Structure 1
Amino acid sequence: MSQAKIAAFFDLDRTLIDVNSAILYAQFERKHGRISTRQVLTTIFHSLLYHLNIGSMEKAYARAMKHFTGIAEKDLAGWAKDFFEEEVKPRLQPGALPVLQQHKNAGHILVMLTSSSCYQADYACQAWGLDHWIANRFPTENGLFLGTYHKPLVYGDGKVHHAKAWAADAGVDLQRSYFYTDSYSDLPMLKEVGYPMVVNPDPKLRAHALKYKWELLDWRQPKTVMPRMEEANA
């Protein structure tokens, strides 16, 4: 009997929820007068590049974080909580909750693995019953943001870097674990787990999943095809 643990990793944007939360957040910040219309349009542009798997996510993130230089972390955490409750929490895809519960029933560790902020990831875990999160974190000094992010970015190969480090500490066997995502940018992490799970994918990921016969799931409806699942104590 294997003593290694099993984890189920979940992407956030366009996987657990049906939209890119960065666009929602930019619109939320504009509504409250904290950014300009031009900044909203820039966010939408970079989110489109992300969805099409082109452009540099690192450059986009670095540009976005400069805006928060000198802002108190407690203020941003409060804004992020309001944003999550108003805009993100209601967007959980209907088919996601049964799968989360199925993994919980199987004794798996539920992990949010997202390019979003640590604040959104933490609120999502609390709301939907996940156990841990791996997300982007931002250095501060005297409680104020320095306008940068901890590297490597939790994106692409960076997701693999952070997930491997977490799995080693947690005693998790990635080859017995699952990862759910919609994005081709997550291909490196999909290749690291034993059970790559593709949810309402972008065209490039769909083509790859069909070629390699990976499981394709549609979470837009509450009645979803449930994935085959390994018990944690098997």
Structure 2
Amino acid sequence: MTDDLRAKLDRGIALFDLDGTLIAWDTQMLFCDHVLKREGWRRAYLPFFSAFLPAAKILGDEGMKRVFLSYLWGVDRVRLEEWVRDFVAEFFPARCYPGLLGKLQAHREAGHLTVLASASPEFYVQEVGRVLGFDLALGTPVEFEQRVPLLPGLVNHKSGEKVRRLSEIAGRSPDGTWPRSHGYSDSSADLPMLECCVENTLVNPSPSLTRIGEARGWEILRPEKPWKDRRGQAWEVLKRITGTGR
């Protein structure tokens, strides 16, 4: 870590989840839609992905993420980087929640270390972080050069894995929290990260996460989503993973 970043860390650290927190969408679906619109033949991943859905509980989030990313099979690195730049330019910051961008700006103005910590693929999370002005951006590292056909290698940057990597940056105090820290998330999967923070803000949390947040005195924000209900959200997801979104 550079001296500048270390000085910011001494003043405080702000940790932001991405999907559902800074932006309403699951960015993995958005990026899939972005790619399929440009190379329609990649929709061939759909039967392969669908065949694994019945085994989703067995494979877990990490296994299913590997299967889902098969739509990027054989991708050229130069082309992937081009897609990433175009994708991020289209959605960030234009589609972000204005209130959360305001929170991010306040931390930047206070001189805090700002970290984007997402479970989405790091190959575009880092570009999102750069565009939004984060000091650091962490996501799921994806390795496409694998012996197993179609399936990339990865370690899902979620739950305890986020805490592990963030602890390498921020260290840990004897009581298990990061001093002068503030966490932002929409998901119960981020509870390990949130429990390491002094203060937290929840964004459109589920009823169960809302109860936890209320009991602990965490701030709760409910910005408007681009769909009315779960059915509307499911319909948007279906369009994105098939490359037919608007």
* TM-score after normalising by structure 1: 0.75
Paired residue for 1:156? Answer: 159
Q: Which residue of the other structure, out of 106, 109, 112, is the alignment partner of 2:110?
A: 106
Q: Does 1:131 align with 2:138?
A: no
Can you give the 5+ residue segments of structure 1 that lack an aligned partner in the other structure?
A: 222-234
- Sequence identity (%): 28
Residues 104 and 88 of structure 1: CA distance in aligned 2, closer, same or farther (over 3 Å): closer
Q: Take 1:88 and 1:75, find their aligned partners in 2: how far apart are those partners?
A: 20
Q: Does 1:39 align with 2:27?
A: no
Paired residue for 1:210? Answer: 214
Q: Runs in 1 of length 4+ with deviation above 3 angstroms?
A: 40-43, 65-70, 218-221
Q: Is the 8 A contact 2:45 2:71 kept in 1?
A: no
Q: Take 1:101 and 1:17, find their aligned partners in 2: how far apart are those partners?
A: 15
> Secondary structure of the equivalent of 2:158?
coil
> Secondary structure of the equivalent of 1:130?
coil
Q: Take 2:110 and 2:117, find their aligned partners in 1: how far apart are those partners?
A: 19
Paired residue for 1:4? Answer: 10
Q: Is the 8 A contact 1:174 1:192 kept in 2?
A: yes
Shift of 1:206: 1.4
Query: Once the two structures are superposed, what CA deviation does each residue of 1:12-44 show, in whole Å capped at 9, x if it has no partner?
Result: 11111121112222222222215328739969x
Paired residue for 1:224? Answer: none
Q: Which residue of the other structure, out of 195, 199, 203, is the alignment partner of 2:203?
A: 199
RMSD: 3.3
Query: Once the two structures are superposed, what CA deviation does each residue of 1:73-94 show, in whole Å capped at 9, x if it has no partner?
Result: 2221211221222245421111
Paired residue for 1:14? Answer: 20
Can you give the 5+ residue segments of structure 2 that lack an aligned partner in the other structure?
A: 1-8, 226-246
Q: Take 1:168 and 1:213, find their aligned partners in 2: how far apart are those partners?
A: 25
Q: Is the 8 A contact 2:85 2:127 kept in 1?
A: yes
Shift of 1:212: 2.1
Q: Does 1:28 align with 2:31?
A: no
Residues 42 and 179 of structure 1: CA distance in aligned 2, closer, same or farther (over 3 Å): farther
Residues 88 and 34 of structure 1: CA distance in aligned 2, closer, same or farther (over 3 Å): farther
Shift of 1:218: 3.4
- Name the count of aligned residue pairs: 206
Paired residue for 1:58? Answer: 62
Residues 30 and 72 of structure 1: CA distance in aligned 2, closer, same or farther (over 3 Å): closer
Shift of 1:118: 1.7
Paired residue for 2:182? Answer: 178
Name whichever structure is richer in helix by fraction: 2
Letter in 1 for 2:33: Q
> Secondary structure of the equivalent of 1:9?
strand
Paired residue for 1:77? Answer: 81
